Amino acid sequence: MLAPDKVLVQTLNSSGLHMKKIKTVETPVTQVEDHSGHGHDNAPDFLPHWLQERWELVLVSLAGLFMITGWAGETFFGLSENVALVFYILAYIAGGYDIATHAIPALFKGKFDTDLLMLAAAIGAAILGAWAEGAFLLFLFGLGHAGEHYAMGRARNAVSALGKLMPKVAQVRRGDDIREEPVAQLAIGDVVIVRPGDRIPVDGEVVTGNSAVDQSPITGESAPVEKSPGDEVFAGTINHEAALDVRVTRLAKDNTLSRVMELVAEAQSQQSPTQQFTQKFTAKFVPTVLVLVVLLAAVPPIFGWMTFADSFYRAMLLLIAASPCALALGTPATVLSGIAQAARNGVLIKGGVHLENLGSIQVMAFDKTGTLTEGKFKITDIIPVNDTSPDDLLAITAAVEQQSNHPLAQAIVTAAKQQGLALPTANGLDNVPGQGIKSQVDGKPILIGTLKLFAETAGHPVDENVTHIVEQLETAGKTTMTVSHDGRFLGVIALADTPREGVKETLQQLLDLGIKKLIMLTGDNNDVAEQIAKKLGVTDVQAELMPEDKLRTIKQLTAEYGAVAMTGDGVNDAPALASATVGIAMGGAGTAVALETADVALMADDLGKLPFAVGLSRASRRIIKQNLAVSLGVIAILLVTSVTGLLDLSWAIIVHEGSSIVVVLNALRLLRYRQ
């Protein structure tokens, strides 16, 4: 297996990464800067911490409460205009606080965005006496920000979740003593002791000991890998069977898991094309509108074309007309409706960018283990020989394997218990690394393992019939266990990481939706991968991949097809999930880091929800385009009519607010979406 460090370095260099690292005594954590608008640091410092965390939501709620109280009181309950005005002012303060604390400092830095125009539009509405409309605008705009930022906040925890896999201390051999020392202080060449069941704390080379190591957190391999002196091991992987002495070959800051963390952070910092387009559009649109407002208010009186009162009225009318209320509401309303409908059906979508991007996907990549497959070994074949019954073969094998904690052994024991088999007594367990195990049942020797175990055991020739059975099963991509008792072959048991139920139908539904390629990515060997790919119906397969290989594959696919989704469940998938246009995590079986890193999570661990999510996202994209056409069209019409005076304020407000209602109602259609 290739060491990941050189490939990762090449990946980092080719990506042009420029990281800022927080220096700590533990594993370095990469800092990801937030460029997504409000920084959520505007809450007063004297407030309790729990209130500061919910400050934006509290403000939006108060703005909505004050606005509804003022409008309903004045409209239905005879509330005086002055009292209603107090509520509108309170709604302005609550709804405009977060926007103002962002827009005004940005203005002094020469930055113009939609927040500034919204704030100016609300002030203009107040000057014209349209307090309710201004309060409503601030409330809805703030609500959209709050919903989007809540989802974004969860994604920032991905790097810290990765760090939790890294052991903080290690058992280090110092001469004749074994001392517990911080991993961050270990030097290259130090020897650490890794006990059975412990996570390996360093990237290194096995010095002494033989054991099976679960590398799935790093490589995604479905079966533990036998390790012996000279073999490489990775930090964060799990030692299963026996103690290992491991010589440190990389410092903590340079090990595989730390590099995975950096790759996740780099991928998260990338802005989507939609975000970039919106920023460019806003940067030009906002100052243009503000300049036009000033010119319209000042120029006509100078040349005597109209009085200042009339020109100011038209300028305020222009400001109201140009306020992108429908533009601001149409996409967030569509997003919120789409996210709500997705949540009703067990799909968590973490923001509008991901909802929209998922609808444009043409290529989808899938991790194999735990995503397309169950991630747990199951017996597929029990083939007895020499007049042995299937129950006897399974019972004798389980009697020996119950002494082991190997995943294959556990699958054997579980199957025997489910069938209610009585197990004979087994004595002793001698592990033969990379080959199998030796034991005794009823005082007679028993061998369980690969054909190599029998070939290298004196006085135990390999049976040609058994060899043929094993070759057929392994050609089919299955893992085999050959069993003999007292020099007599009992049979062969085959196991496999079986496909998830209904996954083939799910993949076909994706193809029917217009997805062009379905690509399976796995750390398993090519034979196993190809066999499973045939069963599943994926269009392409890439095997024997490390995390950086998956990341490189995703980047290549993105360059070729423009938009790529990645579905996975493990830490080894994190860089690929973060780098893909849309990262999709399996919920129930997924690790915390995969869920936090991904943009979409299938909460019930049900891949069958993926076609629904894709279909919903495509419907959302259509509605977003429709709403953009309506909102921009209305703004264009109102700009012309406000400057020429063809519409007065009341009609401008009716058309303006009417367009907002239209786009919102159009967006709410998503709540009735069905696959």
Q: If phi over 0 gives left and psi between -120 and 50 gives alpha, with beta otherwise, what is residue 502?
A: left
Give percent of the chain with pLDDT exceeding 70: 80
State mean pLDDT over 68-81: 89
pLDDT in tens, 205-263: 999 999 998 876 665 455 788 899 999 888 888 898 889 999 999 898 877 677 656 64
Q: For strands 363-367 and 564-568, give the pairing.
A: parallel
Q: What's the rounded mean pLDDT across residues 631-647?
A: 83
d(CA 186, CA 572): 24
Cβ contact 494:473 at 8 Å: yes
Label residue 432 by pLDDT band (50, 70, 90). confident
Which pLDDT value is given to residue 310?
82
C-alpha separations of 75 from 53, 72, 80, 91, 168 in Å: 35, 5, 10, 17, 63
- DSSP conformation class of 582: E
- Determine the Cα–Cα distance for residues 177 and 174; give it in Å rounded to an integer: 5
Residue 369 has pLDDT above 90, yes or no: no
Confidence of residue 385 (pLDDT cuts 50, 70, 90): very high
Could you tell me if 551 and 576 are in contact, meaning their C-beta atoms sit under 8 angstroms apart?
Answer: yes
pLDDT at position 492: 95
Active site residues: 367
The whole-number pLDDT of residue 279 equals 61
CA pair distance 42, 46, nearest whole angstrom: 12
Q: Is the pLDDT of residue 69 over 50?
A: yes
Which of 159-163, 199-203, 294-298 is the least confident region? 159-163
Q: According to the model, what pLDDT value does residue 5 have? A: 38
Alpha-carbon span 71 to 94, nearest angstrom: 16
- pLDDT of 656 > 80? The answer is no
- pLDDT for 272 equals 40
Mean pLDDT of 558-569: 88
Q: Say what the pLDDT of residue 186 is.
A: 93
pLDDT band at 649 (very low <50, low <70, confident <90, very high): low
Average pLDDT over residues 547-563: 86
Average pLDDT score over the chain: 79
- Between 16-25, 566-575, 655-664, the lowest mean confidence (pLDDT) is in 16-25
Which of 11-15, 220-224, 430-434, 470-474 is predicted most confidently? 470-474
Strands (E), 358-478: 363-367, 373-384, 426-432, 436-441, 444-449
- How much is the average pLDDT of 492-516? 89
Comparing CA positions, the residue from 413, 407, 488, 493 lying closest to residue 446 is 488
Closest CA to 375 of 552, 163, 532: 532
Rounded to an integer, what distance in angstroms lies between the CA atom of residue 641 and that of residue 658? 16
Q: Which of 522, 521, 510, 457 is nearest to 484 (CA)?
A: 457
Q: How much is the pLDDT for 376?
A: 78
For 325, the token pair is: 């209320």
Residue-level pLDDT at 275: 44
Calculate mean pLDDT across residues 327-347. Answer: 74
| pLDDT given at position 253 | 82
Give the class (CATH, top level) of 339-372+500-617: alpha beta
Q: pLDDT grade, residue 27 (50/70/90)?
A: very low
pLDDT band at 483 (very low <50, low <70, confident <90, very high): very high
pLDDT of residue 479: 81
Query: What is the rounded average pLDDT of the residues 277-289?
Result: 72
pLDDT at 16 over 50: no
Contact 248, 203 (CB under 8 A): yes
CATH of domain 166-257: 2.70.150.10
Average pLDDT (104-118) is 78
- Return the higher-pLDDT residue of 309 and 228: 228
The beta-carbon contacts of 594-598 under 8 Å, at least 24 apart in sequence, are 594/568, 594/569, 594/570, 596/154, 596/155, 596/157, 596/158, 596/161, 597/155, 597/158, 597/264, 597/268, 598/350, 598/568
Mean pLDDT over residues 362-389, rounded? 88
Per mean pLDDT, which range of 163-172, 458-467, 523-532 is the poorest?
A: 523-532
CATH fold for the domain made of 374-499: Calcium-transporting ATPase, cytoplasmic domain N (3.40.1110)
Higher pLDDT, 202 or 376: 202
State the pLDDT at residue 562: 85
User: What is the pLDDT confidence band of residue 482, given thresholds at 50, 70 and 90?
Assistant: very high
Quick one: 309 exposed, middle or buried, by C-beta within 10 A (0-12, 13-18, 19+)? exposed
Burial degree of 410 (CB within 10 A; 0-12, 13-18, 19+) = middle
Which has the closest alpha carbon to 517: 548, 550, 549, 563? 563
Assign 24 a pLDDT band (cuts: 50, 70, 90). Answer: very low
Residue 152: is its pLDDT beyond 50? no
Instruction: Identify the top-confidence range among 406-415, 509-518, 520-529.
Output: 509-518
By C-alpha distance, which of 649, 631, 597, 632 is closest to 159?
597
Q: What is the pLDDT of residue 189?
A: 94
Contact 546, 568 (CB under 8 A): no
pLDDT at position 246 is: 95
User: What is the structure's pLDDT at 381?
Assistant: 94
Gap between the Cα atoms of 579 and 576, Å rounded = 5
pLDDT greater than 80 at residue 513: yes
By DSSP bridging, strand 373-384 and strand 488-499 are: antiparallel
pLDDT-based confidence at 613, cuts 50/70/90? very high
pLDDT (0 to 100) of residue 218: 63
The 10 Å CB-count burial string (b at 16+, else e) for 479-509 is bbbbbbbeeebbbbbbbbbbbbeebeebbeb
- pLDDT surpasses 60 at 331: yes
Helix (H, G, I), strand (E, B) or coil at 306: coil
**Looking at residue 544, what DSSP letter applies?**
S
Q: What is the mean pLDDT of residues 321-335?
A: 72
More confident residue, 101 or 274: 101
> Tens of pLDDT along 339-352?
778 877 777 777 77
More confident residue, 479 or 15: 479
pLDDT band (50, 70, 90) for residue 414: very high
Is 533 within 8 Å of 476 (Cβ atoms)?
no
pTM across the whole model = 0.58
- Candidate from 133-142, 237-246, 515-524 with smallest mean pLDDT: 133-142
What residue spans define the domains of the chain? 166-257, 339-372+500-617, 374-499
Whole-number Cα distances in Å, 283 to 106, 277, 289, 290? 12, 10, 11, 12
Question: What is the Cα 99 distance to its own chain's centre?
Answer: 29
